[in-house]
Structures are given as structure tokens and as C-alpha cells.
Structure 1
């Protein structure tokens, strides 16, 4: 049965259906006419406000001439769109989650990234991201594609009407030697440049802060102008989206607690500059 709740998976499916419609050259009304539906039904599916039945998805894909691979993927994706949480463990579904994350970032008005051990993905340089992926046993044939995708996420911060970013980064991430000294120095210099952007609030959480909710693990809180916020969690084996208010509120409270002990933007960039100096002068 179709649902009406704007879950993360429904939004992701809607974005893919919209992509298929546009690729086929249909307007919303044109596709609705082909399917014998109201244009508002198509609009609700594409925004994720309403979850289409699997049969409806199949009809859209047939009319738009979707490939066999896309058809199989989206019909699989159409299952469980009413679930309040979207947990991905298998590699194929995790790839769909990453595509959804990119879409959510593009639509976001504000992104909060709490990252205690690594530089946030939105702020990573290509060499830093590459070093993580190689060490993380990403198949060699996939490394460069994934690096390009990660670096491309920066567009969220540089586009017209860019998203606001609050990055709460652990001091351990600033000092972590990933990819060698030159890679780290380049990455930290990139952070200093990004910190000058008017839509970026970069704050370091000092090691002296003791325990904070950030130490429970990294997370991303994504806010939209006219939609329900979403939280994204990811670890080595799984990824999770959720949007229910109680869960979102718990992570928003965690952000407030971490922000209370974080350094000011000025002190944060001063620390980063000092670490760069240490790396460049230490033999």
C-alpha cells in the first residue's frame, strides 16, 4: 500500500524517478497523461511525499524506457519505502544510499557534519580521500571513480545559494597521519581555505574536551528549507538514514553538546595552522 510520510528512501526513489522522467523528455503533466494519473500524484512521488506502489514504479519505468538494469534497481528500491529507517548492509543498497546522500546534500539548506576521527567527506582533498579508500580496501578499479564523486560533493558548498555547513571536527582528525605528511599538509591547507567561506563554520573539538557525544561515532544532520530533516550514519559494514523527529532531536541535542566544547572558528584555524607548521618543520 502506498504511504504518505516522506521517508528517506521514498525521497531517494522519487529523485531517481524524476531523473528517469527528465531523461525521457517528459514533463510532469506529460508523464501523468501517459499513465492516466493526476500530475499531483507524479509530483508527490518525485518529492517523496508519497510512496508509489511497485506497480506504479514499473509503469513509470516502462513509459520512460528505463534500461533493464535501472528497472531492476528501482523496483528493488521501491520495496520498504514506508519504513522510517533505511538500513543498508549489502553493497548494492549502500551504493544507492550514497547516491541518495549526494541528492540530499544538493537539496540541503544546512548540513552539520560531526566527524571525530576523519576530515568530513565534504571537505576532503582528492589525495586524502584516495589514501582512505586504498587503506580501506576499496577495489583498485573503483578508487578513482569514488574519489571523483567525493570531491564533487564540494559543489554543495560552492553552488548558487549554497548549503550552510557546520563541521565539528575532532582534534584527532586534524593530527591523524593519513596518506603521508604532504597529503596531510595539503588537506589542512584546504581546510584553512574552506574556513574562509562565508557559509562554512569549521570548529575543532579539542582532545582536552573529554567525552562528548561525538565519540559515539560520526554522523551527518541534513536540514532542508521545506522538508523533514534527515540523519545519516555510516560505518565499515552498514549505513543508515532516519528522519523520525525523536531520532533527529536526539542528534540535534548531540550537536549542541559538541558545539559547546568546540573551539571558536578563529581558535580552530589557529590550531590547524600550528599543526601545519609542526608537520613542515619536523624532520
Structure 2
């Protein structure tokens, strides 16, 4: 099957990661399993969806854990089909892994976050405070905080993702974790806004109705295909149908029109740093 979807890209990224972890080139692995290396290339880019039997064949000569093997094989179940929509915790963990893989392969990401700091810009104390308030188990909190902090690497790596963060002004007034946590979070926003690949824009609360009031979204552009990740406290979903994604893409320029300039946004955040009163 030839189809770029969030699932196929995530599966391809996992296959690439386990191959690299085994220190094998595509050509070397292709030779071991008796296929042309271009087939592995298309699998790993998400341009082609390998069958379960093909994935078993690819993994056979690789040194990987049983858990990794099981997770990868689970991803072969309808990898080019319906969007990833999950509610149960084990499924949410699998989708979080898929989100990480897709972000790693992305060229551009746009986040509209009217209620909290976007995940790619959160500091660990801020993330932890949110999860503790949700009364998650400590082990789950530790894992998810570590994953979220790891996700931030796409912004500072070589050839970083182009990231546009659209943040609701009300977010700056939400004291999550206390003044010290917010001071650290604001300092991090200012630091990240200095990166050439990061555009941080505050959307004023007094703007009136705008497209973003339909809800938060995380738009990911990867290998010529766009996906939207939506999440709330009990469920999350990848939206990949072109007609649906187009609606979210159309919201971005409208949000940018009503947002403060990058310079003004910096000033507003810097003011919040001063008003936290934390030395």
C-alpha cells in the first residue's frame, strides 16, 4: 500500500530507529533480508506501508526488546487506514509514541493553544504540575514528563522543525504550579522565541470571535502531508482526511492576523516575568 498517513509515518520512523540502533545501513539490512534497499527507504519514510509479514522479516535479524517488537507489530494493524483515535491508557501511550515519531520527521509544526503553554514549549515543572493536578499515578507522570521533554529536541536539533506557537493571552494569567514555576516557564518562552525557527505569537483575549475559539490544535507538516493532533483530558485523535485538515490549515492565517506581533508578544511575556515577583 502506498499512502502517507500518521500511522504509516510513525511505523516507518520506528523501523528506522530500530535499524539505526542496530548500526545497520538500509543497504546492509536489505542485503540481510534479501530485498532492495529502496523498499526499506520507502517503508521508513511512510511512503509505503509494509505488511505484517514484511515487518516480521525486517525485525528478524535485529536485536530489539520483546516489548519494542510487540509495539511495532501492533502498529502494522491497519497502518494506512482510519485515524488514530484512542481513549484507553495503553492506546494513548501508543499514540503518544506515534506523535513523537511524526514530530521527529516533521518539517513544520503549528500549535494553537488557548488554555495552556504548548507541549513543545513547556518546562518540566509546568508539565508535572498539570499532570499532578489531574491526579495521574506518579510512574505515569514521570514517563510522560520525560517524553514531553524529549519532544522538545525537535526545536533545537540540527535542521530543526519550523515551529509557530500561537498562545492565548489567558494562558499567561493561569498560575500553574505557583509563581516560581511560572517564572521558569516564562523565561523559557523568552529564550525559545530567540531561535530563528521558533515564532511565538500571543493571541489577545479581547479579540472577539476568531477561528481559534473552536478549540486547540497541533498541525504537523511531514513529507508533503499534513496531520492534525487533537487532545483533551480523556481522549486524543489524529485527523488526516485532507478536507478536515484543510479547515485547520485555514485557521492559521486568521489566527496570525489577530495575534500580536512577535516583538509585542515578547514584551508581554517579559512583563509577566517581572510581575511574578520571583528573583
Instruction: Identify whether the pair has TM-score above 0.5, normalized to the shorter chain.
Output: yes
**SS of match in other structure, 2:4:** coil
Q: How many residues align?
A: 278
TM-superposed deviation, 1:249: 1.4
TM-superposed deviation, 1:171: 0.9
CA deviation profile, 1:45-87 (whole Å, cap 9, x unmatched): 1111111111111222223244332222222111011115222
Tell whether the 8 Å contact from 2:6 to 2:102 is kept in structure 1 after alignment: no
Instruction: Give the whole-Å Cα distance in 2 for the aligned partners of 1:72 and 1:182.
Output: 42
Correspondent of 2:181 among 147, 164, 183: 183
Alignment of 1:204-283 (within 5 A): 204-224=202-222, 226-280=223-277
CA deviation profile, 1:233-264 (whole Å, cap 9, x unmatched): 11112222233322221111111221111111
User: Which of 11-20 and 112-121 deviates more?
Assistant: 11-20
Instruction: Give the whole-Å Cα distance in 2 for the aligned partners of 1:250 and 1:81.
Output: 24
Gaps of 5+ in 2: none
TM-superposed deviation, 1:141: 1.9
CA deviation profile, 1:25-58 (whole Å, cap 9, x unmatched): 4332232233332222222111111111111112
The reply on whether 1:20 has 2:10 as its aligned counterpart is no
> CA separation of 1:23/1:259 partners in 2, compared to 1, >3 Å: closer, same or farther?
same
Tell whether the 8 Å contact from 2:109 to 2:218 is kept in structure 1 after alignment: yes
Instruction: Give the whole-Å Cα distance in 1 for the aligned partners of 2:199 and 2:118.
Output: 13
Counterpart for residue 125 of structure 1: 123
**SS of match in other structure, 1:160:** coil
Instruction: Give the whole-Å Cα distance in 1 for the aligned partners of 2:38 and 2:214.
Output: 42
Tell whether the 8 Å contact from 2:13 to 2:102 is kept in structure 1 after alignment: no
Instruction: Give the whole-Å Cα distance in 1 for the aligned partners of 2:144 and 2:39.
Output: 35
Instruction: Give the whole-Å Cα distance in 2 for the aligned partners of 1:7 and 1:38.
Output: 23
Instruction: Give the whole-Å Cα distance in 2 for the aligned partners of 1:141 and 1:109.
Output: 32
Q: TM-score, normalised by structure 1?
A: 0.91
TM-superposed deviation, 1:22: 2.7
The reply on whether 1:85 has 2:107 as its aligned counterpart is no
Counterpart for residue 64 of structure 1: 62
Tell whether the 8 Å contact from 1:24 to 1:64 is kept in structure 2 after alignment: yes
Gaps of 5+ in 1: none
Alignment of 1:17-166 (within 5 A): 17-166=15-164
**SS of match in other structure, 2:61:** helix
Moved over 4 A (4+): none
Instruction: Give the whole-Å Cα distance in 2 for the aligned partners of 1:18 and 1:164.
Output: 22
Tell whether the 8 Å contact from 2:14 to 2:101 is kept in structure 1 after alignment: no
TM-superposed deviation, 1:166: 0.9
TM-superposed deviation, 1:165: 1.4
> CA separation of 1:96/1:168 partners in 2, compared to 1, >3 Å: closer, same or farther?
same
User: Which of 59-68 and 167-176 deviates more?
Assistant: 59-68
CA deviation profile, 1:143-175 (whole Å, cap 9, x unmatched): 233223222322212122222211100011111
Measured on the aligned residues, the alpha-carbon RMSD in Å equals 1.9
